[in-house]
Amino acid sequence: MIQLQGKGVSKGVTSGPVYFFRRSDATVTKVENADPAAEKARLAEAQEKSIEQLNRLADKCREEAGEEAAVLFETHAMFVEDEDYVECIMDTMESEGCNAEFAVQTAGEQFAAMFAAMEDAYMRARAADIRDVTTRILNNLMGVIEGGIDSEVPVVLAADDLAPSETLQLDKSKILGFMTQGGSGNSHTAILARTMGIPAICGLGEQLQPAMEGSVAYVDGETGTVTLDPDEPTLAAFEAKRKKQQEMKLLMQTMKGQQDVTLDGREMMVYCNIGSPDDLSAVLNNDGRGIGLFRSEFLYLKASDFPTEDAQFEAYKAVAAGMKGKRVVIRTLDIGADKQVAYFDMKKEENPALGVRAIRICLNRPEIFRTQLRALYRASAFGKVAIMFPMITSVWEVRECKRFCAEVMAELDREGIAYNPKTEIGIMIETPASIFVADALAKEVDFFSVGTNDLTQYTLACDRQANDLGRFFDPHHPAVLRALKIATDAAHAAGIWIGICGELGADLSLLETFLAIGIDELSVSPSSVLPLRAAIRKSTARTCTLEKLDC
């Protein structure tokens, strides 16, 4: 048995023969004293062929992956004919007397560099498109047949990494899953695999060797493990997982488009937790009714310096607009404790979980807070944004946050920038203090959302990072559940809604307790939406009891 460990970037299990993606790595060489007329004719032919291929890809994509991806290829087709790009190729051919290949490559590099140097993140990302188009023209010039899969049976496709057009031109009926040496959860391969619902593992590195071609690989896109020649227990576990997956698939199909309502008519809002705009497709694919927690940390954790207002705005706007009017709760910066960022230059703390973290950083460093709030309010013009403050313990903190919001709105008014003045403001309920003063807090805000991991940690005095606390760290502890009840009663008395955005929300064994307590919203990872919906639809809220709150 051989096992390779990578990063699972698209869930699901599958098995099949390994097939290595074949990419011609024909290198471009410069030929001088070429015949300009002949080279121009070759270029024209390659352009025509490229445009044909791209339009075909766009059609295919429209059926398989949706309109947005299709437009990408239509734009690529226009790039092929772009006046300046073509002029640059022609100029190079004429001035250097060289072959079309060299001229195309030169122009491609020049234009990709131009986009790569732009300020706007969206435009910078277009450099990859230019390179992709350039490669296509080059392939057509050199007569390279692009990597179809030369296999009669479906395969697990292995590669170093795949470009967007490479991924899409593959015959999908022949692919069971992807495994790549490089790439990340945000790479095109991963995103497309998720869109297509195929398992994918990236970052396998050198362990993934061409010699494995033909062996049967057992791929688990959840754990990121690839197994060759499995022993019996491993195989049995794999098959059990596959069976479960098939049952889930059937369940998923019946649950899409269904209401999140119990047998006796109690509605629950089933929302999703996401960590970046890339997760939006998973929310839509799983029919999430909103986003209950958009963690803004990714913007800070990925960057090497404070993210700008514009960069943040783009990310928030993408999600707000993508959800088309459904609620998107964005949590303001929640770093400190287990999430550290070098450029924040935080003092080392003896006890970081009880230290300067989350809202405390924001209130101490207004310039950081104001930048984020401006980006959030600007994004509120593009969808139903709600702003949520983490780690609240006191009413004065909430009032101070609201004062910041009012100031930011006044600034935007002065600058004539659009925003939604009715943007909902909510707080995380994750400290015992916020439970004890929940009635007062509820009067200040539009909603509560319970972070069960931190609430458990602070209520039970158990460090959530410590591995050896085991049975002492118990999110089902009656103290935690009673805290939920107190917060819910306070929220309802003030006429506001309350949700759970911690991992506990997806814990189906507590669903009846949540219904009995009166929780209005559960925000879970996108893949948990449909199973949760199925459980809600089988429940009867009226008969649910608070017995788990008893000791």
Could you give the residue numbers annotated as active site? Answer: 188, 501
113 lies in the site for another protein, by CB under 8 A: no
Taking the least distance from each CB to another protein, the nearer of 124 and 365 is 124
115 lies in the site for another protein, by CB under 8 A: yes
119 lies in the site for another protein, by CB under 8 A: yes
Instruction: Please give the Cα distance from 492 to 23 (Å, whole number).
Output: 60
**Minimum Å distance from CB 78 to another protein?**
5
411 lies in the site for another protein, by CB under 8 A: no
Binding mask 230-249 for another protein (x = CB under 8 A): --------------------
First to last CA, the chain: 48
84 lies in the site for another protein, by CB under 8 A: yes
**Minimum Å distance from CB 185 to another protein?**
24
**Minimum Å distance from CB 425 to another protein?**
23
Whether the CB-CB separation of 221 and 10 falls below 8 Å is answered with yes
311 lies in the site for another protein, by CB under 8 A: no
Strand order in the sheet with 216-220: 2-5, 225-228, 216-220, 13-20, 155-159, 175-180, 200-202, 7-10
> Which of 123, 153, 263, 508 is close enough to bind another protein by CB under 8 A?
123
- Whose CA is closest to 288, among 308, 260, 265, 309? 260
Instruction: Please give the Cα distance from 202 to 162 (Å, whole number).
Output: 11
Taking the least distance from each CB to another protein, the nearer of 381 and 433 is 381
Q: In this structure, what token pair is assigned to residue 302?
A: 């990925």
DSSP annotation string for 12-38: -EEEEEEEEPP---PPP----S--HHH
**Minimum Å distance from CB 127 to another protein?**
11
264 lies in the site for another protein, by CB under 8 A: no
463 lies in the site for another protein, by CB under 8 A: no
Binding mask 416-455 for another protein (x = CB under 8 A): -x--------------------------------------
> Which of 19, 20, 102, 382 is close enough to bind another protein by CB under 8 A?
382
The C-alpha angle 182, 188, 193, rounded to 5 degrees, equals: 95
- Beta bridge partners of residue 118, listed in sequence order: none
Binding mask 482-521 for another protein (x = CB under 8 A): ----------------------------------------
120 lies in the site for another protein, by CB under 8 A: yes
DSSP annotation string for 470-482: GGG--TT-HHHHH
Identify residues 49-78 at the interface with another protein (CB under 8 A). 71-72, 74-75, 78
317 lies in the site for another protein, by CB under 8 A: yes
- Beta bridge partners of residue 271, listed in sequence order: 523
Taking the least distance from each CB to another protein, the nearer of 82 and 411 is 82
Taking the least distance from each CB to another protein, the nearer of 41 and 71 is 71
> Which of 5, 55, 96, 114 is close enough to bind another protein by CB under 8 A?
114
Instruction: Please give the Cα distance from 458 to 220 (Å, whole number).
Output: 35
Instruction: Please give the Cα distance from 316 to 242 (Å, whole number).
Output: 36
| DSSP state at residue 339 | B
**Minimum Å distance from CB 310 to another protein?**
9
The residue range among 15-23, 119-127, 295-303, 403-411 that interacts with another protein, by the rule CB under 8 A, is 119-127
Range list of β-strands (E), 166-279: 175-180, 200-202, 216-220, 225-228, 269-274
Instruction: Please give the Cα distance from 468 to 136 (Å, whole number).
Output: 55
Taking the least distance from each CB to another protein, the nearer of 322 and 505 is 322
> Which of 19, 20, 79, 178 is close enough to bind another protein by CB under 8 A?
79
Which class for 514: exposed (0-12), middle (13-18), buried (19 or more C-beta within 10 A)? buried
> Which of 111, 238, 316, 514 is close enough to bind another protein by CB under 8 A?
111
Which class for 302: exposed (0-12), middle (13-18), buried (19 or more C-beta within 10 A)? exposed
Residues that bind another protein (CB under 8 A): 71-72, 74-75, 78-79, 82-85, 111, 114-115, 118-120, 122-123, 126, 129-130, 317, 321, 381-382, 417
